[in-house]
Structure 1
Amino acid sequence: MHPRREKDLNSGRPHVSSEVKCFPRKRGYDFTMFGFDIEFRRHRWALIYCSISAIGALVFGYDNTYYSGILGMQQFKNDFGNHYEDGAKALATDFTSLTTSSIYIGDMVGALIAGLLNDRFGRKIVLWIASAFVLAGGVTQVADTNIESIIVLGRILIGLGVGNFTVTSLLYIGEVAPLEIRSPVLYMYQFLQSCSQLVASGLTQGTNSIESFLSYKLPMGGLIILPLILLVFLPFIPESPTWYVFRGRPDDARRSLAKIHRNDPTYDPSADLSFLEQARRYEETQGEASSWLSLLLDPIERKKLLWAAGGMYAQQICGIIFFYNYGVVFAEALGVSQPFTITLITMILQIFAVAASILTGNRLSRRTNLLSSTSLILIAFIVIGGLGTQTTLSTASKYIIVVFSYVVICAYNFGLGPLTYAVTRELSVGVNQNKIMSVSIVALYFFLWLISFTAPYLYDNAGLGPMVGFVYAGTTLSSLAWVWFCVGETQGRTRLEVAMFFTDNVPARRWKTHVFVNPVVDEKGEMGVGVAHVENSA
């Protein structure tokens, strides 16, 4: 028997004390929408704090899109191009690939160090650090004088900030958002990305007609605004109470909980604090202290890591970044008129798709959503690849390819985009949660980089053109495999329940209906009662 299992059987699981308070819900605070009991007034400050931390999502989305836009600007090509195509200056494939993908080097390093920084310094300090990196990178890009290496340096610095943002924002949201709204708030991470992508797309379209370096410098400078906004509000948000408890600072955790619940006059932090302490003790009984080595050697920790990181793999390996980084270039290569307008339509569609995912998230199981939406992505890529086999694309074929590109965008933003953030965050439990999240986000950016770096070579150098859809159809099959084998229903489950799924080796397909013979679950599930929430969302 594995030593962790033996220890679990010998020691038993902690249970919720009878002193844990359940507070009757005030009907005046209720607001139910598509199955979500939002209770905006009761959770107002938690939502505000989570929104501030999620500014990192705005940075991520903006950067992913604005650079795609400036790659299609003739003024940018004039300043950085090294050869001519059809009488106009053009960018080298090496330049496009290196400058587009270099940010992911910074992303991966930033995400990797984020685990260490979060363990030691907490969430707020890491958000300060991330903001500083993005500011430095943004200023470097704006100050550049047509030197490729400076562009690359600026994008690596931005990546260091974005990597720290992604890990830390998701950790913070998962630890501060009440259980009742944890899922939609985590989905909002993708929604905010989509909003900033729309802004970036609109800005690049608006500046495209400027016949000077300002056409691309203005979108570059727009990136600087977001971390400045975060720096203004950061002093006012509380540190994660979960981090305080795991650092042995219960008094600070109590103050943090009180600040999060300042809107609720009936709130007593004792219940949440008690549960957080019990969760910490339970996780400590399951193995050794947090360590990187245990992620490889301990079979349960390794499984958590593979399943959580698999979500970020599945999100990106399907090739979605091709449409964001090279969308304008792709449309131009197809000979479609007004490529910037087509990209802008893409951004608008994705916002509606993510919004639909948020609103139906409590009605449609994640497994069903992911299986159906990912299958639709697979079919769309096959159609795109099939049309690309024509020697000469007709006008109708070009627009059909664009339409099915929209299908990929919508299906992705309804399923893999928002849901994998939530699933990955909720699978990252136990004493190694910071490290699991860190490695998962490293996986996200590694596969972002891989697809981003190889896309222009596959499309141009390998001569695949739209037939690149066949390549991404193949990679999407592996995303489907992750959904089938690794996606269990975590919505509405507590931190302890998810941890117990792993220690009890419950198959993912049974998570939705599995019942624990444990007072923790019974206490949470009473009808008509609101249970103190932070312990359930860490």
Structure 2
Amino acid sequence: MAVILCGFDGALIGSLVGLTPFVHTYGRLVDGQYAVAPSWLSAFNYASYIGSVPGSLVAGVAYDRVGPRVTLAAASIGSIFLQFFSSGPALLFVGELLNGFITGVYSVLANAYISEVAPVAARGVLAAVINLSYVIGQLVASGMLKGTSTMDSKWAYKIPFASQWALPVFILSLIYVCPTPPYWLCKNGRPEEARKSLQRLTTSSVDIDAQLAHIQETLRLEEPPNTISTTINILDCFRGTNLRRTIISCQAFNLQALCGNILFINYAVYFFEIAGLNTSNAFSMNVGLTCMGLLGTLASYILISYAGRRTIYLWGSITITLLVFLIGILGAVPQHNAGPMWAMSALMVICNLVYDMSLGPLCFTVMSEVSAVNLRGTTIALSNISVVIFSVIFAVAIPYALDTTGANWGGKLGFLFAGIGVLDTLWCYFCLPETKGRTFEELDFMFRERLPTREFAAYRFEEAVGGGCSWILGL
């Protein structure tokens, strides 16, 4: 529910510019027509990203120290009063900034929590639920905006703002029944409570003692040698083999922004209108785009269950690169008729489908698997911050690139993301390890042994028990 709210807010602000009452309130009169200045349009979109930076840092540290339930409850007390009651662009910007802080907390907590309560076999699919939640939020937002787009009053945008108050109420009411992750309890010296949590998370046929011992052994393997302090700080993410894990986690998340998702999600309606669609068709196309995103996310569950993380990432990056390259070609074609306009819009929809089948859901899975258990919250927070940097850059640049009074690139913007996509694909091939089906203990061992990227998939383990100690041997 928390991530649904993140998806709703992210899709909302970029599409509101298509509503006439919103433009009249937050825009200015230019050549006899109201228009939101590109600078403010960019600011509205990157405000939430900027706000999510401190939100992510707070969430990462709070998750490791006070746990997910307390952190989530504290974050859910926030509200969207400034968004709803704003009467000018400056106040709306501040409202988005504060809202971004809350959504930054939500995204970090969801990823860290799911990775620590899910069994290995279901970890990939359950982590992908995060992306499904984003898409559900986007779909609800696009459907609501389609419904209010015919209204001539300020309620056309105030109703979507006000609807964000509903989910925190449900979140606060359900936090009490959520079990605390046993990994977190063991990290904080509470093994008996971890045992009770495992009993809630497993069936009666599971050996709780073995599971608990496995968690404790995983945490022991991550302890730096000759250390006494158990305090975790952000610098630990950049020491030893954790540096490699942090880079992989950050870059896996960065591919979301680098592939162009800001264009075909946040600025979809704006792009459709720039391409030549009228307001009604633009919002209808946006609903179709988010529906395809939902379909793609559901299809990703099948892919994640059978294909490797590395394989899905690689082919997803290749496919999106080709699609945005085609959009660039169509954008360069003289617009003598409506054919190229509809073709570009259709390719945007397909881009979103492929994205939500591959890079969208998989980044959450990869982040949760490559990060060390002791540093999970902090590593995910750093990953969230790194993608925010790229997202802000594109949130600022895309309106100027698309706007007819700016660079006026239109569909030719696809060439930029195609060039970046080539670099993304090369990184996936050379740097992204295969983590499917691995326990956190196995991954700790492989990273500690500095295993080359392309050997992760074929590496095999056997368990040998002797002298009361359990050792993992790589063959």
Q: What interval of TM-score do these two structures reach, taking the shorter chain for normalisation? A: over 0.9
1:385-438 CA distances to partner (integer Å, 9 max, x unpaired)?
Answer: 112123435311111111211221111111110111101110111432222111
Q: Quick one: which of 415, 422, 436 aligns to 2:365?
A: 422
Structure 1 residue 84 corresponds to structure 2 residue 30: yes
Alpha-carbon distance between aligned partners in 1 of 2:46 and 2:336, rounded to the nearest angstrom = 29
Other-structure match for 1:396: 339
Other-structure match for 2:40: 95
Given candidates 240, 259, 262, the residue that maps to 1:299 is 240
Selected match of 1:232 from 151, 158, 173: 173
1:112 matched residue in structure 2 = 57
Corresponding residue of 1:161: 102
Match of 2:192 among 238, 246, 251: 251
Q: Residues 277-302 of structure 1: CA distance to partner in whole angstroms, max 9, x if unpaired?
A: 11121111557553322333x23111
Alignment correspondent of 1:67: 13
1:442 positional shift: 1.1
Contact 1:101–1:453 (8 Å) recurs in 2: yes
Find out whether 1:358 has 2:304 as its counterpart.
no
Are positions 1:379 and 2:318 aligned together? no
How far is the alpha carbon of 1:379 from its aligned partner? 0.9
What's 2:442 paired with?
497
Three-state SS of the structure 2 residue aligned to 1:83 is: strand
Residue 449 (structure 1) shift: 1.9
For each residue in 1:297-319, what CA deviation from the matched residue of structure 2 results, as whole angstroms up to 9, or x when unmatched? x2311111101111111121111
Instruction: Verify the 8 A CA contact 1:315 1:479 in the aligned structure 2.
Output: no
Within 5 Å, give how 1:15-54 maps onto structure 2: none
How far residue 474 of structure 1 moved from its aligned partner, in angstroms, is: 1.6
- The aligned amino acid for 1:209 is T
SS of 2:433's partner is: coil
Alpha-carbon separation, structure 1, partners of 2:425 and 2:338? 32
Q: Deviations over 1:130-169 (max 9, x none)?
A: 2123xx2x2221122x122221121111111111111111
The answer (yes or no) to whether the contact 1:76–1:216 under 8 Å persists in 2 is yes
> 1: distance between equivalents of 2:226 and 2:37?
52
- Give the Cα–Cα distance (whole angstroms) in 1 for the partners of residues 297 and 126 of structure 2: 12
What is residue 13 of structure 1 aligned with on the other side?
none
Equivalent pairs: percent with the same residue? 27
Choose from 405, 408, 424 the match for 2:351: 408
Task: Say whether the 8 Å CA contact 2:274–2:402 is kept in structure 1.
Answer: no
Q: Match of 2:223?
A: 284
State the one-letter code of the partner of 1:485.
Answer: F
SS at structure 1 position matched to 2:445: helix
Partner of 1:211: 152
Equivalent residue, structure 2, for 1:139: 81
Aligned length: 461
Q: Which amino acid aligns with 1:148?
A: P
Separation in 2, partners of 1:273, 1:230: 29
Matched, 1:265 2:211: no
Aligned-pair CA distance for 1:494:
0.3
- Scaled by the length of structure 1, the TM-score of the pair is 0.82
- Quote the Cα distance in structure 2 between the aligned partners of 1:221 and 1:440: 30
Q: Which residue of 2 aligns with 1:34?
A: none
How far the C-alpha of 1:187 sits from its partner, in A, is: 1.0
Deviation at 1:84, TM superposition (A): 3.1
Instruction: Name the CA distance, whole Å, in 2 between partners of 1:223 and 1:366.
Output: 34
Structure 2: distance between partners of 1:124 and 1:430: 18
- Which amino acid is 1:80 matched to? Y
1:322 corresponds to which residue? 263
Kindly state the Cα deviation for residue 266 of structure 1 after the two structures are TM-superposed: 3.5
Aligned residues of 2:335 and 2:341 also touching (Cα < 8 A): no
Question: CA–CA distance in 1 between the matches of 2:73 and 2:430?
Answer: 38
Q: CA deviation at 1:220?
A: 0.8
Residue aligning to 1:31: none
Matched letter for residue 97 of structure 1 = S
Distance 1:161 1:291 in 2: 22
Please list every run of 5 or more consecutive structure 1 residues that lacks an aligned counterpart in the other structure.
Answer: 1-54, 526-538
User: Of residues 34, 45, 70 in structure 2, which corresponds to 1:125?
Assistant: 70
Deviations 1:308-356 (A, max 9, x none): 1111111211111112221111111111131000111001111111111
Alignment partner, residue 253 of structure 2: 312
1:26 match: none
Shift of 1:197: 0.9
Residues of 2 paired with 1:287 and 1:83: CA distance? 67
Q: Is the 8 A contact 1:172 1:240 kept in 2?
A: yes
Q: Does the Cα contact within 8 Å between 2:264 and 2:351 map onto a contact in 1? A: no
Could you tell me how far apart the structure 1 residues matched to 2:393 and 2:149 are?
28
Q: Is the 8 A contact 1:430 1:499 kept in 2?
A: no
The secondary structure found in structure 2 opposite 1:463 is coil
Local SS of the residue matching 2:34: strand
Partner residue of 2:374? 431
C-alpha change, 1:120 and 1:507, in structure 2 (3 Å) is same
CA distance in 2, matches of 1:126, 1:428: 20
Counterparts of 2:204 and 2:457, CA distance in 1: 34
Matched to 2:210, the amino acid is A
What residue in structure 2 maps to residue 56 of structure 1? 2
1:272 deviates by 1.7
- Contact (CA 8 Å) 1:186, 1:422: kept in 2 or not? yes
Conserved? CA contact 1:314–1:482, under 8 Å: no
Q: Deviations over 1:76-109 (max 9, x none)?
A: 0111111235x43111111111111101011111
Identify the residue that residue 414 of structure 2 maps to in structure 1. 469
Q: Larger deviation: 479-488 or 166-175?
A: 479-488
Q: Which moved more, 1:207-216 or 1:383-392?
A: 383-392
Match among 478, 484, 506 for residue 451 of structure 2 = 506
Q: Residue 179 of structure 1 corresponds to which residue in structure 2?
A: 120
Partners of 2:28 and 2:441 lie apart in 1 by 58
Contact 1:140/1:151 (8 A) holds in 2: yes
Q: How many Å apart are 1:207 and its aligned residue?
A: 0.7
The residue aligned with 1:190 is 131
Alpha-carbon contact 1:60-1:193 (below 8 Å) kept: yes
Matches of 2:12 and 2:460, distance apart in 1: 47
Report the alpha carbon displacement of residue 368 of structure 1 after superposing the two structures with TM: 2.1
Aligned residues: CA RMSD: 2.0
Opposite residue 56 of structure 2, the aligned amino acid is: A
C-alpha deviation, 1:365, in angstroms: 2.1
Q: Is the 8 A contact 1:319 1:475 kept in 2?
A: no
Matching residue within 174, 183, 188 for 1:242? 183
